[in-house]
Amino acid sequence: MNVESELEKGNFVVGECLKCKKIVWPPSEYCNRCFGNVSIKEGPLQGKIIEFSKQGNDYFCLVEFNENVKIIGKIADDIPQINQSVMVKKCGIQNGDYFFEFTSN
C-alpha cells in the first residue's frame, strides 16, 4: 500500500515522514528532507486557489493545501477565484499522470 495506489483508487492521501513529520508531496517513498520512511496520511481537506487558467471550456487551478502541497486540477462547477476555498472532489491516475478535480463546496 502506498500513496500512489490510494490516489489511483480515488482516495486523496499524502505522504508523511515518520521521522521529521514533513508532508511529502509529490508522492515519494522517502522523505525529501531527511530520507526517512513515509507513511500514508489522509489528504488535507481545504485548500485555496492561488492561480487559475482557462483551457477550452475548462478551468484549471493551482491549489495550495499547505506550504508543501500544491496541486493542479480542474474545477468543474464554478468560475474560480483567487483565494477561493476548495476541496478535492475526485482524484486518480490517468495515462501515468495524477489528475485532480476540485469543488468549492
- Closest among 92, 95, 40, 54 to 71, alpha carbons compared: 92
Phi-psi region of 104 (alpha: psi -120 to 50; beta: other; left: phi over 0): alpha
- Selected from 5, 30, 33, 53, the binder of Zn ion by CB under 5 A is 33
**18 is an interface residue for Zn ion by CB under 5 A:** no
Minimum separation from the CB atom of position 63 to Zn ion (A): 24
Q: Which is nearer to Zn ion, 13 or 91 (CB)?
A: 13
C-alpha cell at 27: 508522492
Q: Count of residues binding Zn ion (CB under 5 A)?
A: 8
Phi-psi region of 21 (alpha: psi -120 to 50; beta: other; left: phi over 0): left
Minimum separation from the CB atom of position 101 to Zn ion (A): 30
**91 is an interface residue for Zn ion by CB under 5 A:** no
Reported residue count of the chain is 105
**17 is an interface residue for Zn ion by CB under 5 A:** yes
By the criterion CB under 5 A, which residues form the site for Zn ion?
17, 19-20, 22, 31, 33-34, 36
